Amino acid sequence: MKNKVVTILGAGAMGSALATPLAARGQEVRLWGTWLDDHLLDAIEAGSPHPRTSVPVPDGVRLYRSDALTEALDGSDVVILAVASVGVDAVVRLAAPHMGHVRLLGVTSKGFLEDSSGKVRLLPESITGIFESLGLPAPIVVAAGGPCKANEVALGRPTATVYGSDDIEAARSLARDIETDDYRIETIDDIIGLEVAAPLKNVYAIALGFADGLERATGEPWHNLKSAIFAQALREMALVATTLGGRAETVFGLAGVGDLEVTGLSGRNKVYGARIGSGETAADALNAMILAEQTVEGVPAATLAVTLAASLLPEAGTTLPLLFAIGSIIEGGSDPLEQLTHAVLPATVDATKRVIV
């Protein structure tokens, strides 16, 4: 099979990490950095490991600066979008006029986008809409979910991940281009379920991190609370997914349970939540992470998810209490522990109706 030219848009942790399996498959890999990635490319060019993964980028990967986007896309067979969700609109608008020859667009970005009318949409729909608004043919979108820590992918450690698309053959095609013995891919046609789980697990990982922060502050574990948060998070992700037309089984598989597990164990969203749980204000915790160049994607995702939920469900605050509690905490709401406890613990039983055997 002829090797392909694969251009990765975004030289951050995940973009650079995917160069490892692609290079292992013999593909020609081009890594394009945005205007925020210059210092990352500087480090790679100097022979240092990637600053975000601490892993060297494979030999032979060609690097492109932000002003060389046309060159990076010229002759590409496949493009993979790997920028933070806040950069998706800008990068897609820049790249779209140079992608007429590209049939397939892989997307590792995780989040929601709000259109000009204020409607919150999943990323694949938003990306397709950007191409259409520019009068350009949209490529088939294949979304890449988790569980998938960038540094482990870069190191070639065993990883199971999920690729989804309305066109299952497109998902399988991209999987064939990148899959290795260590980087294995489950392909599904439930792109809605996948794209609900991908950003929402970042939101719910904030609450899981909060429980870890309580342990840090008190010196005692809060495992019972953390398990209740985990269970409620999955219930709520499944409800949003099925309401939008996705499948609950996607949430209860690798894309939901698996991704929430790995994100709740480590990662920037978990760390942000732990900072709040240990006593920092939400604003101070976020500012500290921004100064450390750590993007907390769960923060904008939570705000947009609350808006989306309110448009989908008439009593969203009641049916998705954990999501709305996290949204309130991010906005600086009082007593985060009380809010989370109320959101995830079962309602008390009316004492007059208890039956004692």
**Residues in a beta bridge with 160:** 184
- Whole-angstrom CA distances from 282 to 23, 78, 278, 312, 332 are 40, 39, 11, 27, 6
Residues near 188 by Cβ (< 8 Å), separated by ≥ 6? Answer: 162, 163, 164, 168, 171, 194, 250, 255
User: Could you please report the per-residue DSSP string of 48-89?
Assistant: PPPTTTSSPPPTTPEEE-GGGHHHHHTT-SEEEE-S-GGGHH
Supply the residues annotated as catalytic.
Answer: 201
**Residues 69, 98: contact at Cβ < 8 Å?**
yes
CA distance 88 to 81: 8
CA distance 72 to 100: 14
CA distance 68 to 78: 17
Q: Which helix (H) or strand (E) holds 155?
A: helix 150-155
Extended beta strands in the chain, E state? 5-9, 28-32, 62-64, 78-81, 104-107, 112-114, 120-122, 140-144, 159-164, 183-188
- The residue type of 41 is L
CA 158 to chain centre: 19
The angle formed by the CA atoms of residues 72, 26 and 82, to the nearest 5 degrees, is: 45
Burial 128-158 (b: 16+ CB within 10 A, else e): bbbbeeeeeebbbbbbbbbbbbbbbbbebee
**Residues 65, 41: contact at Cβ < 8 Å?**
yes
